[in-house]
Structure 1
Amino acid sequence: MKIYTVFVEPKTSGNIGFLARTMKNFGLKKLVLINPCKLENDAYYQAMHARELVQDAMIYDTLEEFIEDKKITSIVGTTGTAGGSYNIKRIPITPDELGKTMHVNGNIALLFGREGDGLNNQEIEQCDILVTIPTSDEYPIMNITHAAAIIFYEIFKNKKSYPIDDMDISSYDDKKVLTNLTNEIISKLDYPEHKEKQVKIIVKRIIGRAFIAGRESQTLRGTLKRINTRIKNKTHEE
């Protein structure tokens, strides 16, 4: 399993250094910066003994470019604004639940949004999983590095060998095919437009949270193709 810590459009280089320092505390080594501010000396100063993470940071202009380049299997977004039954896009899990699920091979992107603004709606929709930290209603939004430390700790403490050796998680392309097939089926079910969009988001999140194994993905893809074909044939008969 490779975990990429992705800082989307950081506004201050000092926070980049603080994030690198927090990463090293928990053994994470792959820092990605999306359209970052200029790296000043304070990034290296605040990183302390994690300066090499700042030095070796991978920089991309867009999130999409990074996802495609590294063949990301699962995208985990962080948010301080949790949703619920009436905000499907922002239904999250806790850091503890996240840590317990991350025991399979694959390239995982852990997204942290802009200081103050977080991830935007478009970036949230790209995520397979959302994670949020339960906090006081009086002051719910945490500093990015404080939030990162909690999430990194939960991932770190749950690290262990998966019970099945060399179990491969489905690739980013595999999951994209599953999502596209499911979306094609959903589009044929005569949902109202707003409902159709919600259902598609729900299915995407379910696929993301499942960390589907490669063979499971192949089997599910074949089943979805058969369902799609049956629907097409039934439509033609009518």
Structure 2
Amino acid sequence: MRKPLVAANWKMNGSREFAERFFTDLNLEGVTSGVVVCPPFPYLSLVAQEAEEKGGFAVGGQDLSQEPSGAFTGEISASMLLDSGARYVIVGHSERRSFYSETSELVAKKFFAAQAAGLIPILCIGETLEEREQGRTLEVVATQMQAVSEVIDTDAWKRAVVAYEPVWAIGTGKTATPEEAQSVHEFIRAQLGQVGDEVQILYGGSVKSANASALFAQADIDGALVGGASLDAKEFAAICRAAV
């Protein structure tokens, strides 16, 4: 039985004051899903301390280097994330792929590096609006997954999370219908083969408390990777409560 998971991606937002206020307001009473908060790198230790003191959620990074250490100015290694209290790390978010030209091959190396260090990667995959209109959604998703499959063994998927994020729905207010999302999630699970039933597959793309329940009711949607709505503690908690 897969346990639902809801992850907050704060992206490049927040401050120390914001983080402290967020956790003062965050009430996870009644939440049965797993919860992950992924803050900007400077606030990882602060959030990890909140997690240790209050419990109820884990901490994740928003990205990592594929390299373990070395002369890579500005980069963050998997071991540094672990040392700061992270348990998860987002890999291959569409903003990294589009704004920073991360290829599927690079994403696969980051996925491998995360697992090698003991982190749980949250692999983001998804198509652009143009690719969707061309009818290439499943092709794009399969290609992005295949790049990772080529550097890991099948069982490694059990120690990972997959997040389907249609690029056209991220930060736009547009959301795939529950049925559209379910169709892609079902395809992703089939691509995972014999371990598919053991892998959490999240949906991301303008998830809010208003649409969360309908999305989570789908058979193959195990939770969400939440962007903008995760900056509001009460809204984020409401999304978490919807994941049962």
TM-score band, normalised by shorter chain: 0.3 to 0.5
TM-score by length of 1: 0.35
TM-score (norm 2): 0.34
Q: Which of structures 1 and 2 has the bigger CA Rg?
A: 1
